[in-house]
Structure 1
Amino acid sequence: MYTQCPECLSVFSVDARTLAQAHGFVMCGHCGASFDCIATLADQLPPEPFNELPSHEPGVEPPRLEAAVYRPKPKPEPAESEATQLRDDFADLIVTPRFARDAHANRPHRWPWVLACLLLLFGLLAQLGWALRDTLIADSTVGPMLQSACNVMQCRLPPVRDVSKLRLLARDVQTHPTVPGALLISATVRNDATFTQPWPVVDIRLSDGNGKTIAMRRLNPYEYLDDVEAMRRGLAPGASTALVFEVEDPGHQAVAFDMEFE
Structure 2
Amino acid sequence: MYTQCPECLTVYKLDARLLVPACGCVRCHRCDTVFNALGTLAEQLPPEPFTRLPEHALDQDPPLADVAVFRPRPPAPEPGPPPLVVDEAVAAEAPAGEDFSQLTFTPAFARRRRRSWRTFAWVSVCSVLLLGLLAQLAWAERDVLVADATAGPMLARACDLLGCRLPLVAAPDRLRLLARDVEQHPTVRDALLITASVRNDAAFGQPYPVVTIVLSDAQGQKLAMRRFRPEDYVGDTAIRTRGLAAGATTAMVFEVQDPGQRAVAFAFSFD
Task: Flag whether TM exceeds 0.5 (same fold).
Answer: yes
Provide the C-alpha distance between the structure 1 equivalents of 2:259 and 2:253, rounded to a whole number of angstroms: 18
How far 1:230 moved relative to its partner?
A: 2.5
Partner of 1:217: 226
Mapping for residues 103-252 of structure 1, pairs under 5 Å: 103=112, 106-252=115-261
In structure 2, distance between residues paired with 1:229 and 1:156: 14
**What residue number does 1:96 align with?**
82
Q: Give the TM-score normalised by structure 1.
A: 0.57
Runs of 5+ in structure 2 lacking a partner? 1-78, 85-107
Greater helix share, 1 or 2?
Answer: 1
The structural deviation recorded for 1:183 is: 0.8
Structure 1: any 5+ residue segments left out of the alignment? 1-92
Deviations 1:54-111 (A, max 9, x none): xxxxxxxxxxxxxxxxxxxxxxxxxxxxxxxxxxxxxxx961289x777556334333
2:241 maps to a residue whose letter is: R
Aligned residue in 1 for 2:265 = 256
Percentage of identical aligned residues: 54
Deviation at 1:120, TM superposition (A): 2.1
Q: CA deviation at 1:193?
A: 1.2
Alignment of 1:49-64 (within 5 A): none
Secondary structure at the aligned position of 2:115 is classed as helix
- TM normalised by structure 2 equals 0.55
**Structure 1 residues 204, 97: closer, same or farther in 2, change over 3 A?**
farther
CA distance in 2, matches of 1:254, 1:194: 37
- Secondary structure of 2:155's partner? helix
Count of residue pairs brought into register by the alignment: 169
CA distance in 1, matches of 2:223, 2:162: 50
Cα offsets for 1:210-230 (capped at 9, x unmatched): 323232111111211233333
